[in-house]
Amino acid sequence: MNTDNKNKTLSISSLLNDDHCSFATLFKKANSIREIDRNLKKLLDPSLKDKFELANINEGVAVFLVSSSAWATRLRYNIPIILDAFNNQLNFTSIKTVRIKIKKSLPENSVVTKKPIYLSNNSAQFLNDIANNFNDPEIRKCILNISKNRLK
């Protein structure tokens, strides 16, 4: 984001298309992984289609999330097929390892008590600086409210 011009307001779409913005990089990677996930599911056994999610690709490792240990086992049996699909049909020759993680889900009636999360003073100051870049009073107010949750 351009910090030289404090009065410049940017739209979300321009931020997400700005190669210098960390949000844009994260957004593009998420979209890329979602597209790879969609294409991979077309190549695998249809019974697995809704049972896993490609979560990340990093340094030759594809990480998948599943809902239970039973589906993790079933997906592990398909690792050779997954690697073949990555390397031959999806042209990801750098993928050499598949990791499968089980998503932790909460029971339906469980109550979640959240521990408060506090910002460091540097992070709070960074958010204050960002808030000053927005002309929109609602966005500025939201960011300033978040920045108030700093360590004391």
Residues 26 and 80 in one domain: yes
Burial of 79 (0-12, 13-18, 19+ CB in 10 A): middle
Judged against a pLDDT cut of 50, whether residue 2 lies above it is answered with no
pLDDT score, position 25: 81
Most distant CA atoms of the chain, gap in Å: 56
In a domain, 10, yes or no: no
4 within some domain: no
Q: Indicate whether 116 belongs to any domain.
A: yes
Question: Can you give the pLDDT at residue 45?
Answer: 87
Cα distance between residue 134 and residue 32, in whole Å? 29
Domain extent for 59: 22-102
Q: Give the pLDDT of residue 138.
A: 84
Number of domains present in the structure of the chain: 2
Alpha-helical regions (H) of the chain: 12-16, 22-43, 69-77, 79-84, 121-131, 137-147
At residue 10 the predicted structure's pLDDT band, cuts being 50, 70 and 90, is low
The predicted structure's pLDDT at residue 1: 47
* Residue in the structure block whose two tokens are 């056994």: 45
Instruction: Inform me whether the pLDDT recorded for 3 exceeds 70.
Output: no
Q: In percent, how much of the chain has pLDDT > 90?
A: 34
More confident residue, 44 or 109: 44
Q: Which one, of 124, 128, 134, lies nearest residue 5 by Cα?
A: 134
Residue 100 CA to residue 63 CA, distance in Å, equals: 6
pLDDT bucket at 92, cuts 50 / 70 / 90:
confident
Please tell me whether residues 86 and 43 are part of one structural domain: yes
